[in-house]
């Protein structure tokens, strides 16, 4: 068997390097595996551990004293794990034989040997109580396969295997109230128990059942129920059996062993359920993940393979693929002893002749087998088929008092993916976090390069794999594939130059391009210079490929065909070049790349490259050089194009396509700045420009004025220039001059500049209007008289506010009419007479007569003179009427004043003062100022407000200016000091003696002229600030 394994290539010659050391001996990288202590004193002094299992981070232990304990391993805080205890039976004669727990840890079956026979008890996950299952009495349960769909409350379709080879289906209602047992199949002709069972879900309607019994591994497939799987014709090969009925033999695999196999294991990917599902009996079932590998532990070794879970496979045994045997002799090789063909054969032969320990149990990690021996733990790599590490268990286990041998066990938590070892009374966890450290080297030596890359942990390891695969491909003549791999190597050996030269010597330009492309994709951001060099070289190769495709006879009809070639290879080359330019636009050097594209004559690709770079300026220059203004405008309309390019290329665009350019300017949002575009339109305002260009320029100017509301004088000056060029547009020019005004009625254009243009271009009416605009009325009238007397008369009417100017303008018109020798004298006289009527009185006949020669007869002006005299008479009469009205008004005012002097009013002495509120007969408050003496006691205003004399003085002083306030205070103090009834006030240092009546009149003029509460003084103070003093204002500043 060992020879067959060697011939099958099971142990290739390879050097594992740093990862090949076992147990830390001679391994610079250290051990691949380690054991971590997770729980101690598992039995809690309740006997010796006889069975254990770990499911969903929960460890279950059955002891020799019929106790079942549950340890919670999910607590990673380092403290003691919570433990729940349950005594399965009170009988001291009963003994626990086996323990089966579902993957969720919610249901457990406990097989016991009692004096009355075999019994099976059901225990819920919480270990609340153990209930015997009467229908299972007498059955020796050796294995259990739980349903792939697991529930927290109750279970169904649990497959039981017995020591007689029978298969049963067990279902249990929630809380273990009632069980249902059904015989499904009997493996006839087999000696020994059912050592292993497994159920795997292929689909919702089909499942796979594996049963290990004796020297065979049976496979059943069907569904959706277990009864359907084992029913005759239900998928178990030729047929099945139910309730002991005869059935055809199922599909099976004969294991290469002389005695019965011991254990069946499946490798499930880790996937733990949501904790909320475990306590909810109504939650949907949790479906087990799909296993990937199966393994059978037998005396001959480990028989293992992969699982193909395609539900469409008809033959159940075909689900087991790539199965092979790892001979037991190999397991006895010393770790690392299989490295080398001859040495491996010699060591294997020696191990086969030397009996050693047999493994007790088997578990699987992602890449290794874990084997439990009576004294050690061993790891065997499934790919290299070599033992990689061994650890003695004595140094990890705590001695168990009263136990003849150290309790041992090995179990894998199917949902958590962790492996636990029972050693004595301790639970140890296998730390497999570094198990894939050397897998890259193992796979590399087997030639499985792609898988080796997935296990590489650094650039150095990846480089080794790339170099090995590239060298192998190069030897096979696959230069392009080899070049792509060489380009991924980031080490300095081999050098870039050596590899490039090597592929250039092959004469395959595609290989060189593949190498450069791969290297370019591999280079990092810090390798900017090398990336630019490689990208430039690759650009030249792509251009060369494009040229070779273009020169093929079938590419364009004949060699050197035009860019319109439609051959597939040529188009593919163009697309490759463009895709490359777009992808590496940031890497390529613009100057070099443009030079290459231009040198090869690839103008379209040059434009494409400019577009990729976002270098719209170069692209626009290229388009305008070719006269493609429409395409240039399409480029400018892109949102990513800067509006600054509108201004830069405005002259060229207007010169080539004025209509499209102006429309594009008008469509831009947000609007462009008209002032920056005007230089491109100025030449249209000069003579010699095209009419179409002037029309588009004028269109844009009107848009700026009417739509954008521009008041920029430059815009309106251009409008004047454009409208003044063509004599047929003078009416439009006049309309524009009249309407282009701001809200303050100021012209938006420069009137002096416009006047100069109008005079130069002989636009007479516009010149007249502009003369009036600048206030040159006499020049306007003089120019208007040269071609239109009525226009001159209309101008003379305009300055209506200035009679002297108007008279002067009308006289200018009259002088022109009188001095016009081309007109007969009677007509001139009639014209002057009509002018007098049109002037509306601005000039009279006496103003015009001096302008006529002395020999003109007076009779010719008879009517005009009479009209003038009549006008004078009317004015005299109007003046007389106005004088009469004024006399009447003066007389009325005099009478009103006389009545006011004798006006009186009745006043109640109890009426309150308008200022202090005290009765008028009471004395005023002292705060009002001086009182008494000859100071008037009361003041009454027509408004009805009455004041104490001193109160009125105080109120008027507050409203009066500083000088007037001082006068009021002096007069009040002087009158108050004069005794009542006195006629004369004595002199003071500041004033001479005066009569009391005079002082009273002066005081009345200062304070009694207006009611201080309702008069003009109060109105004037509405706009007066509250704070007058500067210092007071500064004191309030924050």
Among candidate residues 817, 843, 864, the one where a domain is terminated? 864
| Any domain includes 1018 | yes
Residues in the chain: 1038
Q: Which residue has the tokens 């226009």?
A: 791
Does one domain contain both 67 and 193?
A: yes
Does one domain contain both 719 and 845?
A: yes
Judge contact between 123 and 68, C-beta under 8 A.
yes
Residues 6+ apart with CB under 8 A from 886: none
Below-50 pLDDT ranges, the chain = 1-28, 77, 235-248, 338-344, 347-348, 350-354, 555-566, 855
Q: What is the pLDDT of residues 710-732, one digit of tens each?
A: 888 888 888 888 888 888 888 88
Alpha-carbon span 318 to 316, nearest angstrom: 5
Alpha-carbon span 13 to 26, nearest angstrom: 19
Judge contact between 986 and 934, C-beta under 8 A.
no
| Any domain includes 473 | yes
**CA 1023 from centroid of its chain's CA atoms:** 57
Judge contact between 54 and 457, C-beta under 8 A.
no
pTM for the model: 0.57
Judge contact between 283 and 277, C-beta under 8 A.
yes
pLDDT of res. 790: 75
Alpha-carbon span 759 to 751, nearest angstrom: 12
pLDDT of res. 605: 83
| Any domain includes 623 | no
Tell me: cis bond preceding 658? Omega within 30 of 0 counts: no
Does one domain contain both 654 and 594?
A: no
Alpha-carbon span 861 to 818, nearest angstrom: 14
Alpha-carbon span 906 to 5, nearest angstrom: 144
| Any domain includes 11 | no
Does one domain contain both 266 and 131?
A: yes
| Any domain includes 319 | yes
Among candidate residues 831, 864, 897, the one where a domain is terminated? 864
| Any domain includes 871 | no
Among candidate residues 864, 879, 895, the one where a domain is terminated? 864
As a 3-state breakdown, the chain gives helix, strand, coil percent values, each rounded to 5, of 40, 20, 40
pLDDT of res. 362: 93
Does one domain contain both 169 and 260?
A: yes
Tell me: cis bond preceding 670? Omega within 30 of 0 counts: yes
pLDDT of res. 142: 93
Judge contact between 167 and 187, C-beta under 8 A.
yes
Q: Residues of 988-1011 as b/e, b for ≥16 C-beta within 10 angstroms? A: eeeeeebebeebbebbeebbbebb
Does one domain contain both 606 and 636?
A: no
DSSP state for residue 269 in the 8-state scheme: P
Which residue in 93, 82, 86 sits closest to 110, CA to CA?
A: 86
Q: For the chain, what is the mean pLDDT?
A: 80
Does one domain contain both 414 and 527?
A: no
Alpha-carbon span 394 to 968, nearest angstrom: 123
Helix 789-797 and helix 825-839: axis angle, to 10°? 30
Q: What is the pLDDT of residues 135-149, one digit of tens each?
A: 999 999 999 999 998
| Any domain includes 4 | no
Judge contact between 152 and 172, C-beta under 8 A.
no
Does one domain contain both 482 and 418?
A: no
Does one domain contain both 586 and 734?
A: no
CA dihedral defined by 698, 703, 708, 712, rounded to 10 degrees?
10
| Residue 189 belongs to domain with CATH number | 2.130.10.10
Residues 6+ apart with CB under 8 A from 252: 216, 217, 218, 219, 317
pLDDT of res. 836: 62
As for how many domains the chain has, the answer is 4
pLDDT of res. 98: 92
- Enclosing domain of residue 511: 447-613
Tell me: cis bond preceding 494? Omega within 30 of 0 counts: yes
CA dihedral defined by 495, 501, 507, 509, rounded to 10 degrees?
60
**CA 312 from centroid of its chain's CA atoms:** 46
Does one domain contain both 659 and 529?
A: no
pLDDT of res. 846: 56
| Any domain includes 640 | yes
Percent of the chain residues past pLDDT 90, beyond the cut: 17
Residues 6+ apart with CB under 8 A from 874: none
Alpha-carbon span 407 to 362, nearest angstrom: 16
Does one domain contain both 425 and 457?
A: no
Neighbours of 962 (CB within 10 A): 7
Q: Are strands 155-162 and 149-150 parallel, antiparallel or unpaired?
A: unpaired
Does one domain contain both 312 and 417?
A: yes
């Amino acid at each position: 068997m060992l020879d067959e394994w060697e011939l099958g290539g099971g142990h290739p010659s390879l050097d594992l390097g740093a990862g090949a050391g076992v147990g830390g001996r001679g391994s610079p990288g250290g051990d691949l595996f380690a054991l971590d202590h997770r729980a101690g004193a598992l039995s809690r002094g309740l006997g010796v551990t006889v069975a254990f299992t770990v499911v969903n981070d929960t460890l279950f232990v059955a002891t020799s004293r019929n106790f079942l304990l549950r340890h919670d391993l999910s607590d990673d805080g380092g403290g003691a794990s919570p433990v729940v205890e349950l005594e399965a039976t009170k009988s001291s004669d009963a003994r626990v034989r086996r323990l089966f727990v579902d993957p969720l840890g919610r249901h457990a079956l406990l097989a016991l040997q009692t004096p009355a026979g075999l019994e099976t008890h059901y225990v819920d996950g919480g270990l609340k109580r153990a209930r015997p299952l009467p229908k299972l009495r007498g059955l020796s349960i050796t294995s259990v396969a739980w349903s792939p769909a697991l529930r927290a409350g109750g279970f169904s379709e649990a497959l039981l295997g017995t020591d007689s080879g029978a298969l049963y289906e067990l279902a249990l209602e929630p809380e273990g109230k009632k069980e249902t047992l059904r015989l499904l199949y009997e493996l006839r002709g087999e000696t020994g128990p059912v050592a292993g069972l497994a159920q795997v879900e292929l689909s919702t309607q089909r499942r796979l059942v594996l049963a290990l019994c004796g020297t065979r591994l049976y496979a059943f497939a069907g569904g959706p129920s277990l009864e359907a799987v084992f029913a005759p014709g239900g998928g178990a090969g030729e047929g099945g059996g139910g309730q002991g009925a005869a059935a055809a033999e199922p599909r099976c695999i004969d294991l290469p062993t002389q005695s019965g196999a011991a254990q069946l294991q499946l490798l499930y990917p880790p996937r733990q359920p949501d904790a909320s599902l475990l306590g909810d009996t109504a939650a949907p079932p949790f479906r087990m993940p799909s296993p990937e590998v199966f393994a059978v532990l037998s005396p001959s070794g480990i028989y293992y393979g992969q699982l193909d879970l395609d539900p469409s496979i008809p033959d159940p045994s075909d689900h087991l693929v790539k199965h092979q045997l790892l001979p037991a002799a190999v397991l006895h090789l010393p770790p690392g002893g299989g490295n080398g063909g001859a040495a491996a054969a010699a060591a294997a032969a020696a191990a086969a002749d030397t009996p050693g320990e047999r493994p007790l149990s088997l578990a699987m990690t992602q890449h290794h087998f874990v084997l439990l021996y009576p004294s050690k733990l061993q790891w065997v790599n499934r790919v290299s088929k070599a033992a990689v590490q061994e650890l003695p268990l004595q140094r990890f286990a705590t001695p168990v008092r009263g136990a003849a041998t150290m309790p041992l066990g090995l179990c894998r938590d199917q949902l958590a993916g962790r492996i636990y070892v029972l050693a004595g009374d301790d639970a140890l966890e296998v730390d497999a976090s570094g198990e894939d450290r050397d897998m890259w080297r193992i796979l590399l030596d087997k030639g499985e390069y792609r898988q080796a890359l997935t296990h590489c942990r650094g650039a150095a390891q990846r480089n080794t794999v790339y170099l090995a695969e590239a060298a192998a491909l190069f030897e096979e003549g696959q230069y392009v594939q080899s070049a792509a791999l060489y380009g991924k190597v980031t080490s300095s050996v081999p050098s870039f130059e050596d590899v490039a030269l090597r592929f250039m010597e092959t004469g395959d330009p595609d290989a060189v391009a593949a190498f450069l492309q791969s290297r370019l994709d591999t280079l990092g951001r810090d390798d900017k210079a090398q990336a630019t060099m490689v990208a430039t070289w690759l650009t030249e190769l792509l251009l060369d490929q494009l040229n070779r495709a273009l020169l093929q006879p079938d590419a364009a009809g004949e060699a050197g065909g035009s860019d319109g070639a439609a051959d597939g290879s040529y188009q593919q080359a163009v697309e490759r070049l463009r895709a490359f330019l777009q992808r590496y636009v940031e890497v390529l050097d613009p100057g070099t790349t443009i030079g290459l594209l231009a040198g090869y004559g690839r103008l379209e690709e040059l434009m494409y490259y400019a577009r990729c770079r976002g270098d719209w300026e170069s692209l626009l220059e290229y388009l305008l050089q070719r006269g493609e203004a429409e395409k240039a405008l399409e480029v400018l309309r892109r949102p990513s194009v800067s509006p600054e390019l509108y201004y830069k290329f405005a002259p060229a665009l207007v010169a080539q396509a004025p209509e499209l350019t102006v429309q594009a300017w008008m469509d831009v949002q947000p609007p462009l700045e008209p002032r920056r575009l005007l230089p491109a339109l100025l030449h249209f305002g000069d003579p010699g420009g095209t009419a179409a260009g002037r029309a588009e320029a004028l269109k844009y100017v009107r848009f700026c004025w009417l739509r954008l509301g521009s008041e920029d004088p430059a815009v309106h000056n251009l409008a004047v220039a454009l409208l003044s060029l063509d004599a047929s547009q003078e009416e439009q020019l006049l309309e524009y001059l009249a309407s282009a005004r701001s809200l303050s009625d100021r012209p938006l254009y420069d009137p002096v500049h416009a006047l100069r243009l109008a005079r130069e271009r002989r636009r007479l009416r516009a010149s007249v209007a502009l003369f009036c605009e600048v206030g040159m009325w006499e020049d306007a009238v003089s120019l208007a008289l040269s071609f239109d007397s009525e226009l001159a008369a209309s101008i003379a009417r305009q300055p209506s506010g200035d009679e002297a100017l108007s008279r002067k303008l009308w006289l200018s018109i009259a002088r022109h009419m009188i001095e016009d020798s081309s007109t007969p004298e009677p007509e001139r006289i009639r014209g002057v007479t009509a002018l007098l009527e049109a002037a509306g009185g601005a000039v009279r006949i006496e103003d015009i007569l001096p302008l006529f020669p002395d020999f003109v007869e007076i009779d010719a002006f008879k009517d005009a003179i009479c009209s003038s005299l009549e006008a004078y008479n009317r004015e005299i009469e109007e003046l007389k009427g106005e004088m009469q009205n004024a006399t009447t008004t003066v007389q009325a005012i005099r009478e009103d004043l006389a009545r006011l002097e004798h006006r009186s009013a009745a006043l109640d002495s109890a009426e309150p003062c308008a200022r202090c509120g005290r009765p008028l007969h009471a004395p005023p408050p002292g705060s009002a100022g001086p009182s008494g003496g000859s100071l008037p006691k009361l003041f009454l205003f027509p408004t009805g407000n009455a004041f104490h004399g001193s109160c009125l003085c105080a109120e008027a002083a507050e409203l009066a200016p500083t000088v007037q306030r001082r006068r009021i205070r002096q007069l009040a103090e002087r009158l108050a000091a004069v005794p009542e009834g006195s006629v004369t006030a004595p002199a003071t240092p500041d004033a001479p003696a005066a009569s009391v009546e005079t002082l009273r009149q002066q005081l009345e003029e200062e304070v009694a002229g207006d009611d201080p509460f309702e008069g003009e003084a109060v109105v004037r103070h509405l706009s007066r600030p509250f704070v007058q003093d500067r210092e007071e204002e500064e004191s309030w500043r924050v």
